[in-house]
Amino acid sequence: MLAFIIRRLLQSVLVMLAVGFIAFSLFNFVGDPVSLMLPPEATTADREAVRKALGLDDPFYVQFGSFLGNALQGNFGISLRLGRPVSQLIAERLPATLELAMTAALIGLFVGIPLGVYTALRRDKWTAKAILTTSLIGVSLPNFLIGIFLILIFAVWLGWLPSFGRGDVTQLGLWSTGLLTASGIKALILPAITLGFYPVTLIMRLVRSEMLEVLRTDYIKFARARGLTNRSVHFGHALKNTLVPVMTITGLQLGGLIAFAIITETVFQWPGMGLLFIQAVQFADIPVMAAYLCLIGLIFVIINLVVDLLYYAVDPRLRIGGGGTGGH
Amino acid sequence: MQDALKRFFDGDIWWSFKHNKLVMIAFVIAVLCVFASAFAPLVAPHNPFDLKTLNLLDAFTPPAWAANGKAQFLLGTDDQGRDVLSTIMHGSRVSLLVGICAVLLAMTIGITLGLISGYVGGSVDAFIMRVADIQLSFPAILIALLIDGIFKLLAPKLSAFLASAGLGTINQDNVSIAVLIFAIAASGWVQYARTVRGSTLVERNKEYVQAARVIGRRPLSIMFSHVLPNVLGPVLVLATLHVGTAIITEATLSFLGVGVPPTQPSLGTLIRIGNDFLFSGEWWITVFPGLALVILVLSINILGDWLRDALNPKLR
């Protein structure tokens, strides 16, 4: 057990070091920090002085070490485009992205699970088949197109919902939330549906196939033989057993949602981290790119680590092989 | 040749193709799309990039069936008076080109690494598979975005270096398309590598491989001329489905404004441009390229799904 956890932790640290190295290379090789900081008319002597002051003539590993030290303290320098500390920018934008991703995940669960159960139990009805076909089209539809079509219908033609921004936000200490005002909730609806579309189809298909599998097993037949009601068999016995993989997939998808929020945020001009990142890519704003990269890497590593450890706790088979081949 | 054709038409694949209407429709649509985009300069009703034929007075013409529509612009025109149908044809040309090239490149990288990983084994295998695991835990679009972003930043430096070395200048637009293809390929090689490695592990212990080893063929030639043909089946299915994904990735990157250069608009670029006119009521500029993208990807995905089932004897 302990050996597995330590190995997994070590692997996570290695991944983070690799991510940190990419971010560091962004700073030092892609962008030239000296010319970023000095006016164009600076002399060579000025450049040398700055180079020395920044420690750029230190050996490579010293520079990398100090970069990691700064990154651990959340210090990524100053945004070239906005002229403000990157950590401050990200802290401002983080709540918007997290609220969007969480809402999308909840939509995925609360729409995907019932649809999955329905299509499994009524698999021969035409409604179930229609839902499945729609989900296939949904998978072929790029995320940003769903957003554009939703905007066209609900914002342009019907005029019911706003198509950009977050509405009015309330400041709760460091956290700015749009969930407490009517305009904030209205602004959240379309982006959350857009981002939640893929998890809905994914969870629905997963629940459906797991349900179909479980309904064939002996203990379900036995439960029926005992004379339990359909409801109790379907929801008490069958659904409960499908939920473990659903939880895992939802957990793993959460990181994907935060990354895919880049697209949704661009469509809806949602002021989150993703929009900040894509603007940074367009303007070659390297400090913001590096910081976003490290943050998203950290989120992914933590999610994967937690899911792996949970798997280990839930699935006794993994314990026998002494960790086996790791988590995947 | 005639024999092979006869065998094909008597075979299972043709039978399952004939008995599946959806697949036949998808096939016809996919062929039409490929044809219309491959021969876009000849088939398209207008040349959207020929400035001489453009007329700003034609800008924002709605589709032909709407009020004020003009018969010569079937799907309407955009802000510069370009025919939307023609831009879609030229756009899907870029989309398909980038998608197919990216898939071919990803296949090459993935098959090579998968073969090496499965055949050589040991620490090489462990290293390649660890990298694949790590990459798989991040979404492909993020990796493509990152690679694209980094190489775009490096490109000006590279061309400055080439110019100073006296090697002449390179066309920036072609560079960014190449970078895009590489980024999409680099984000998609893992699946090929995993599949090929899995089949190679099975194949390497079979007698024909041992025989080849005994008569002294070198590992590389065993890998590519003996093992490779026997592991290609699943790879072809993956590749068909990957073309759809690659086209979506390209469209997404172009929509985000980091994909193909504006001088060679793909479907994603067209959608992004049209998106600016959504609120002023010119919906057709963005909706039709969007529909074209969906139809193209959907028909490719249906074909890929069918191929997977048709080639899988377990499902018959």
Task: Name A160's bridge partners.
Answer: none
- Please report where in the chains the tokens 């609220």 appear, as a residue: A99
| Residue A308 burial (10 A CB sphere; 0-12, 13-18, 19+) | buried
Contacts of A297 in chain B (CB under 8 A): 138
Q: Which two tokens stand for residue A180?
A: 């407490």
Q: Which residues of chain A have pLDDT under 50?
A: 322-328
Task: Name B83's bridge partners.
Answer: B77
Q: Are B272 and B255 in contact (CB under 8 A)?
A: yes
Q: What is the pLDDT of residue A322?
A: 45
User: What residues of chain A, 127 to 146, have a C-beta less than 8 Å from chain B?
Assistant: 136-137, 139-145
Q: Distance between the two ends of chain B, CA-based, in angstroms?
A: 28
Contact of A282 with chain B, judged by CB distance below 8 Å, is answered with yes
Q: What topology does CATH give the domain A91-327?
A: MetI-like fold (1.10.3720)
Contact of B232 with chain A, judged by CB distance below 8 Å, is answered with no
Q: Are A158 and A150 in contact (CB under 8 A)?
A: no
Mutate to test the interface with A, among B22, B137, B276, B285 (most CBs of A within 10 A): B137
Listed by start position, the domains of chain A span 15-72, 91-327
Domains and CATH numbers, chain B: 83-295 (1.10.3720.10)
B257–A256 CB contact, under 8 Å: no
Q: What is the pLDDT of residue B69?
A: 67
- Please report where in the chains the tokens 């020929």 appear, as a residue: B50
A144–B271 CB contact, under 8 Å: yes
User: What ranges make up the beta strands (E) of B13-124?
Assistant: none
> What are the tens digits of pLDDT across the range B242-258?
898 899 988 888 888 88
A148–B150 CB contact, under 8 Å: no
Contacts of B142 in chain A (CB under 8 A): 259, 262, 296
Question: Nearest-CA distance from B30 to chain A in Å?
Answer: 14
| Residue A115 burial (10 A CB sphere; 0-12, 13-18, 19+) | buried
Q: Are B200 and B96 in contact (CB under 8 A)?
A: no
| Each residue's pLDDT expressed in tens, for chain B with a length of 316 residues | 677 777 766 777 777 777 778 888 888 888 888 888 888 777 777 777 766 666 666 666 777 676 776 767 767 777 777 777 888 888 888 889 999 999 999 999 999 999 999 888 888 888 888 888 888 877 888 888 888 877 777 777 777 777 777 666 666 677 788 888 988 998 889 989 998 998 888 888 888 888 888 898 888 888 888 888 888 878 888 888 889 889 998 888 888 888 777 777 888 888 888 888 877 777 888 888 888 898 898 888 888 888 877 776 655 4
Provide the ipTM: 0.78
Q: What is the pLDDT of residue A323?
A: 42
Nearest by CB to B278, which of A148, A255, A262?
A: A148
Give the pairing type, strands A175-177 and A170-172. Answer: antiparallel
**Radius of gyration of chain B measured on its C-alpha atoms:** 23
- How many Å apart are CA B186 and CA B142, to the nearest integer? 11
Q: Are B310 and B12 in contact (CB under 8 A)?
A: yes
Check residue A238 and report its DSSP letter.
I
> What are the tens digits of pLDDT across the range A110-146?
998 889 888 888 878 888 888 888 887 777 788 888 8
Using CA coordinates, name the residue in chain A closest to B151: A30
Please tell me whether residue A297 adopts helix, strand or coil conformation. helix
B290–A151 CB contact, under 8 Å: no
The number of C-beta contacts closer than 8 angstroms across A and B is 90
Could you tell me the sign of the dihedral formed by the alpha carbons of A37, A40, A44, A45, in that order?
Answer: negative
- Please report where in the chains the tokens 């025109």 appear, as a residue: B77
